[in-house]
């Protein structure tokens, strides 16, 4: 088994470049890191280009033998601890990462679902990752993102999704308003979160709706608000005026879940 120890190795330089969004976009690839995420990538039959294993973790038993058998079916790179630390962005890495292919199908919106989630300018990678994970828990497998959202394949987003990213079709649109207008033609209503309304999220039926969650500080943009068929807010009994974007999205997603279970 050859162990790579040079930072000038071409494959190592390639993987390091995947930390940059521009290179991820050019190659249509991104990095997933950690035992659980690599296991899920294998289980979900994601297109794995290569798996990188730190030699220390391979020999000290941190990675179970069953996973080592699985990763042996792929192109594997074994690297020194020093090289692995150049590749990782995790404080306490588990010694395994994979380069995988993006699974986006940008022109394929599934109109058979009851609700579609659209994100308008979400900036925080942690918020985006949490929203993806929550959507996955509700069996929602697509999200529409405005072009100014955080990168879905940012390492922090990927880690926050806890594997949900493998089951999600991220549809990034250069013109969210135009995309929403097209969805409206498919008999969906656009629902935007807003503080400037008296209508509650509990007063609507969650069927054939696009739920738009806005930017953390500015909310939903004026253009999208003007396009919305309905504006709703989450009632709050305390003094807090607004909620974190991922919390707001989670509450609305689970109001959909509650309604769906009730009607089954």
The predicted structure's pLDDT at residue 1: 65
84-90: average pLDDT: 91
Number of structural domains found in the chain: 2
CATH classification at residue 185: 3.40.1280.10
User: 150: burial class by Cβ within 10 Å (0-12, 13-18, 19+)?
Assistant: buried
φ/ψ bin of 105: left (φ > 0), alpha (ψ from -120 to 50), beta (otherwise) = beta
CATH classification at residue 50: 3.30.1330.30
Q: Per-residue confidence at 57, pLDDT binned at 50, 70, 90?
A: low
Please identify, among 54, 74, 101, the residue that sits at the C-terminal boundary of a domain: 101
Cα–Cα distance for residue pair 128/102, rounded to 1 Å = 17
pLDDT in tens, 158-188: 999 999 999 999 999 999 999 999 999 999 9
* Residue 82 φ then ψ, to 5°: -65, -45
All residues at 6 or more sequence positions from 137 whose CB lies less than 8 Å from its CB, including other chains: 164
The predicted structure's pLDDT at residue 103: 74
pLDDT in tens, 184-199: 999 999 999 888 888 9
Domain hosting 61: range is: 3-101
Instruction: Tell me if 121 is assigned to some domain.
Output: yes
Residues 145 and 75 in one domain: no
User: 26: burial class by Cβ within 10 Å (0-12, 13-18, 19+)?
Assistant: exposed
Q: What is the three-class DSSP state of 143?
A: strand
Residues 119 and 178 in one domain: yes
């Amino acid at each position: 088994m050859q162990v790579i120890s040079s930072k000038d190795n071409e494959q190592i330089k390639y993987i390091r470049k995947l930390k940059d969004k521009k290179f991820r976009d050019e190659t249509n690839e991104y990095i997933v890191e950690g035992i659980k995420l690599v296991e899920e990538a294998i289980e979900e039959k994601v297109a794995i280009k290569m798996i990188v294993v730190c030699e220390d973790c391979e020999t000290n038993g941190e990675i179970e033998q069953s996973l080592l058998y699985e990763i042996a079916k792929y192109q594997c790179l074994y690297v020194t601890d020093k090289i692995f630390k150049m590749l990782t962005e995790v404080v306490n890495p588990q010694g395994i990462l994979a380069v995988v292919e993006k699974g986006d199908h940008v022109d394929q919106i599934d109109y058979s679902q009851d609700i579609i989630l659209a994100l308008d300018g979400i900036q925080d990678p942690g918020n985006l990752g949490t929203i993806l994970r929550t959507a996955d828990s509700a069996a929602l497998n697509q999200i529409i993102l405005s072009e100014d959202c955080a990168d879905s394949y940012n390492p922090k987003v990927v880690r926050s999704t806890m594997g949900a990213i493998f089951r999600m079709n991220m549809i990034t649109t250069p013109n969210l308003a135009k995309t929403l207008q097209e969805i409206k033609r498919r008999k969906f209503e656009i629902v935007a979160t807003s503080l400037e309304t008296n209508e509650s999220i509990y007063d609507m039926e969650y069927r054939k709706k696009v739920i738009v969650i806005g930017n953390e500080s500015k909310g939903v943009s004026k253009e999208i608000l003007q396009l919305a068929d309905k504006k709703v807010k989450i009632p709050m009994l305390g003094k807090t005026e607004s909620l974190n974007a991922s919390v707001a999205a989670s509450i609305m997603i689970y109001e959909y879940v509650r309604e769906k279970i009730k009607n089954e």
